Chains A and B, each alone.
Chain A
Amino acid sequence: MIKSRRMISIVLLVVLIVLSLSIDARRDVNLFTLFQFTPETIEILLISRIPRTLTIILSASALSVAGLIMQSVAKNKFVSPGVTGTTQAATLGVLVAHLFFPSMALWLQFIFSFSASLIGSFIFITFLNKIQFKNEVYVPLIGMMFGALISSLSILLAQSTNTLQFLNSIGVGSFTNKTIGTYEMIYFVVPALLIAVIYASEFNIVSLGKDFSNNLGVNYKKVIMLGIIIVAVITASTFIVVGPLPFLGLIIPNLVSIYYGDHLKKSIFDLMIFGSIFVLTCDIIARSVLFVLTGYNFEVAVGFVMGIIGSIIFLYLLLRKTKNA
């Protein structure tokens, strides 16, 4: 059963990758002419389409894994970096970098947003460990309020320095213009993903609680800290390259745990495949919807499409889960 599911999802992923490689404003390089590999198609592929597709796959799998780690660390199924203020902290970091060093070197932005999201998620996790909740819905609620607090800090900063427009422009995720020279920062997620795969079982154990993991010989504090660092690296680098991708870290781990169970070591690759399928689909929709509706070669930011589809799936998950409980 699981094996056939896995096969289907891999086939689907390959189909979507080919589709993603064959859609663009250059309509003469399409699904049928792509595999003739003339020098021109190869150039187009290398400069723009492969970087873009690679960015999509890497950021999608990384954010899904980040969501999963966040859920293990916070011991709650309804959290993700976007819900607990990590993404908002990354925004604040980029804004600060923009204010103090307007030269906008990408690595500088990365350092700022990385440290900001590290601090943000660290505060949230210590905060959660300090208090006890009985209600499952309570934790994401507080996380959203915490995120709203950080956002209002950013808005305050932007308003007093006349950079509100910049703040709005980095607030929507988009894969537009991900060509050579603008997408390389996404490679930061590769080591983070590797470490996440190696430590998958530890994250599994940590989600059972402090006493339990100490009993099983897992260093609770160390694993939590490691998880927060991985989440911060992933959030910061995807934020710099793509921007926020709403609901990704929230719904993909939940869907995967419905279909493949909670054994992380076994399901972490399914998680990445699922995340990539979801984002590739959304990106293809975002690229083609305006062409279908109006006939113009424009694309919508993928963040909008993901916000709409993702929130509908999340609502479904929320109602399903609380109904069974």
Chain B
Amino acid sequence: MLRKYKFWTMIVILSILLYLGVWMVSQFDVIMFSLNDPDRAPLFIDVMLNIFQRRLVQVIALIIAAVLIALSTTVFQTLTQNRIVTPSLLGFDSIFVVTQTTLVYFMSMSRFVVDPILNFMVTVVLMVGLTLLMYQTVLKRHKNNILLLLLIGMVIATLASNYASFLQILMNPTEFQTIMSLTSVSVVNIHTTLTFIVLPVAILVSAYFFSKSRVYDVIALGQTHAMNLGIPYQKQTYTDLIFISIAIAITTALVGPLSFLGLIAVNIAKELYNKYHHQAIFILSSFISIIVLILGQTIVELLGFRTVVTTFISLFGGIYMIYLIIKEHKV
């Protein structure tokens, strides 16, 4: 496998190395000064190792997020038969803020708020539960209309964020500060222990998607064909949506919203690889997703943190998406 994707593996490794080392650019003077001073050098090498270790954990978290987003977007696009949708639009980030706000408001300073691991688990369970509820009510009644589900998800996101802001007004300042620190997850603010808890779950979810890649090849033919060829379509869709929920919930709670990343990665992958074997698209889109996320973060750090990588990605992702729609739907 590695030989087949030699080029992409090289670029991924290169961008990871770049990310690990990019902090040295702005701190170049300090590093040179400290290393030349014989008294400081041993201590400073320890510090540097520490920094590298922390950045390595960040890289692992970024890779988890990138791969999960790429895989779940690919599956979601297959289920919807549509190349411009992504499950991140279902409003997970607002639901995340709402669960945190509700937890703090009704159980202020309890273990669910203070303990980050417990908090993470409760949040993910609540997020998956809420989206399941949405699937239940929408898909069952409206004949698997996933586009409608997406629109309803976006409306619920507005509802949720307004409700959260309303609760935040009623709070006292201490609780509000807690909310702010809990919801300010971003690519640069990753919890170390959480990363290692998430890792096995992420591997499990990815393994599931990979193991079903042949099934997705068939589902891509359309509902009737898939049913004719012996796929339990309803059940399969439902299971897939649950796994997609878990994947997106995890990434949102770990690194924050990354709405357009999946869109960019999967579409570039489909453009580069113009056949429809899901296994190949899975691998390729994961690679591209990792590269875009990590290289983007590297560039943001090089520019001195003027912006956040997610804004960067959604800007370019949005433009790319509009180009795609025009290309696909030309009259």
Chain A residues with CB under 8 Å of chain B are 78, 127, 130-133, 135, 137-138, 140-142, 144-146, 148-149, 152-153, 155-156, 159-160, 172, 246-247, 290, 293-294, 300, 303-305, 307-308, 311-312, 314-315, 318-319, 322-323
Contacts and interface: CB of A to CB of B under 8 A. Distances in A.
Given A142-B325, A247-B158, 17 more contacts: A137-B148, A141-B151, A144-B154, A145-B321, A148-B314, A149-B318, A156-B307, A159-B306, A290-B170, A307-B159, A307-B161, A308-B162, A308-B166, A311-B155, A318-B151, A322-B142, A322-B145
B158 A311 contact: yes
B182 to A, nearest CB: 18
A315 B156 contact: yes
B306 A137 contact: no
Contacts of B51: none
A140 B307 contact: no
A39 B139 CA distance: 61
Nearest to A151: B314
24 contacts: A78-B151, A130-B330, A131-B325, A131-B330, A135-B147, A137-B148, A137-B150, A140-B151, A141-B150, A142-B325, A146-B322, A148-B259, A152-B314, A152-B318, A311-B155, A311-B156, A311-B158, A311-B159, A315-B155, A315-B159, A319-B142, A319-B152, A322-B142, A323-B141
Nearest to B307: A159
Contacts of A159: 306-308, 311
Given A130-B330, A135-B147, A156-B315, A149 B322 contact: yes
Nearest to B308: A159
Nearest to B157: A311
A127 B331 CA distance: 11
Interface residues of B, number: 41
Interface centre among B159, B169, B259, B306 (most CB of A within 10 A): B159
B23 interface: no
Interface string B287-331: 000000000000000000011100110110011011001100111
B318 A145 contact: yes
Nearest to B149: A137
Contact of B329 (A132, A149, A308, A314): A132
A322 B148 contact: yes
Contact of A133 (B85, B169, B170, B329): B329
A312 B325 CA distance: 30
Contacts of A131: 325-326, 329-331
A107 B159 CA distance: 32
A318 B166 contact: no
Interface centre among B162, B259, B306 (most CB of A within 10 A): B162
B234 interface: no
B158 A307 contact: yes
A106 B286 CA distance: 48
Interface string B260-284: 0000000000000000000000000
B136 to A, nearest CB: 13
A21 B166 CA distance: 24
A323 to B, nearest CB: 7
Nearest to B259: A148
A135 B145 CA distance: 11
B163 interface: yes
Contacts of B89: 141, 144-145
Interface of B: 84-85, 89, 138, 141-142, 145, 147-148, 150-152, 154-156, 158-159, 161-163, 165-166, 169-170, 259, 306-308, 311-312, 314-315, 318-319, 321-322, 325-326, 329-331
Given A146-B322, A156-B307, A315 B150 contact: no
Majority SS of interface residues in chain B?
helix
Contacts of A146: 318, 322
A138 B85 CA distance: 10
A319 B140 CA distance: 12
Contacts of B318: 145-146, 148-149, 152
A322 B331 CA distance: 26
B159 to A, nearest CB: 4
B158 A246 contact: yes
Given A159-B307, A318-B148, A130 B326 contact: yes
Contacts of B155: 311, 314-315, 318
A323 B145 CA distance: 11
A132 B331 contact: yes
B141 to A, nearest CB: 7
A294 B167 CA distance: 13
Contact of B314 (A127, A141, A149, A160): A149
Contacts of B308: 159
B132 to A, nearest CB: 17
B169 A127 contact: no
A137 B315 contact: no
Given A145-B318, A152-B311, A155-B311, A308 B147 contact: no
A144 B89 CA distance: 10
A290 B138 CA distance: 34
Nearest to B158: A311
* 9 residue pairs, one from A and one from B, having the closest CB atoms: A149-B318, A307-B162, A131-B329, A311-B159, A152-B314, A137-B147, A159-B307, A160-B306, A152-B315
Contacts of A148: 259, 314, 318
A307 B169 CA distance: 15
A308 B156 contact: no
A319 B147 CA distance: 13
Contacts of A314: 155
B159 A308 contact: yes
Contacts of A172: 165
